[in-house]
């Protein structure tokens, strides 16, 4: 079971990823750094709206912004994704174990009926 801080971080991360635009931005940044202007290009929305999405991603820890001359390139922070993947894998294992136990239980019940 996670700590309160870990739970809050996962909440922020999954909230950030719940929006398609933010998932697209994360996918774009998986290919390399990009400026806010570059990230905004494919969208028919204001720079202010794209900046809001970027702030949500920053607060979740998924991305960070650096400073290079006059630009603030965004970059993906893989450690945040690793935390989400770890949680998903742990949940998958737990459900897989439960399903295995259920399958074993049902097989025993079925054997009892056939005897």
Q: What whole-number distance in Å separates Cα of residue 42 and Cα of residue 26? A: 14
- pLDDT attached to residue 1: 53
| Full-model pTM | 0.75
Considering all CA atoms of the chain, what is the largest pairwise distance in Å, rounded to the nearest integer? Answer: 79
How many domains does the chain fold into?
1
Residue-averaged pLDDT of the chain: 89
pLDDT tens track for 22-46:
999 999 999 999 999 999 999 999 9
Interval 68-96: pLDDT, tens: 777 789 999 988 888 888 888 988 999 98
CB-based contacts of 27, cutoff 8 Å, min separation 6: none
The region that residue 45 occupies, defined by phi over 0 for left and psi between -120 and 50 for alpha, beta otherwise, is: beta
| Domain ranges, residue 14 | 4-114
pLDDT at 2: 62
Q: Which CATH number fits the domain that encloses residue 51?
A: 1.10.10.10
Q: How confident is the model at residue 5 (pLDDT cuts 50, 70, 90)?
A: low
């Amino acid at each position: 079971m996670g700590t309160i801080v870990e739970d809050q971080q996962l909440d922020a991360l999954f909230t950030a990823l719940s929006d398609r635009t933010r998932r697209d931005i994360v996918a774009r940044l998986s290919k390399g750094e990009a400026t806010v202007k570059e990230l905004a290009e494919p969208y028919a929305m204001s720079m202010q709206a794209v900046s809001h999405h970027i702030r949500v991603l920053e607060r979740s820890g998924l991305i960070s912004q650096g400073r290079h001359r006059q630009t603030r390139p965004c970059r993906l922070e893989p450690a945040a994704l690793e935390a989400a993947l770890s949680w998903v894998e742990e949940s998958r294992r737990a459900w897989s174990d439960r399903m295995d136990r259920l399958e074993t239980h049902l097989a025993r019940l079925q054997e009892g009926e056939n005897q």
